[in-house]
Amino acid sequence: MNTPEAQFSTIYRAVDWINGGLPADRQLTKTPETRLLGPQSVVDSLALVNLLIAVEREVEDMFGISLTLANERALSMNESPFRTIQSLADYVGVLISEAQNA
């Protein structure tokens, strides 16, 4: 079911996977406010890309839906959906809803 809890659970599993390969001082905390982009983020661009790929995999495992997060739509938005875990969860929720209603 596409609920905020399910969206966060999906992202947090991806965060766990990413954190497994990061040094302790560069690991992401599992909170909605965690910054993924910008000066307050602890991850670099490669880790962010890996996180997005891991989220796509988790969405497919949990919902049976194949998504591409870093697409033209995301890149053309006024505010990036990759700013925080909250904004990523909101974006994932929209994409899942659209796919389920297609």
pLDDT digits (tens, 9 = 90+) for 15-65: 999 999 989 988 999 999 999 998 899 889 999 999 999 999 999 999 999
Question: How far from chain centre, in Å, is Cα 22?
Answer: 17
Let me know: does 63 contact 1? Beta carbons within 8 Å.
Answer: no
**Strand ranges inside the chain, DSSP E:** none
Domain that holds residue 56: 4-100
DSSP 101: T
Question: What's this model's pTM, rounded to 2 decimal places?
Answer: 0.93
CA dihedral of 79, 96, 1, 18, whole degrees rounded to 10: -70
Domain count along the chain: 1
Give the C-alpha separation, 90 to 6, whole Å: 11
Residue 2 has pLDDT above 90, yes or no: no
Give the C-alpha separation, 94 to 100, whole Å: 10
Q: CATH number of the domain that 61 lies in?
A: 1.10.1200.10
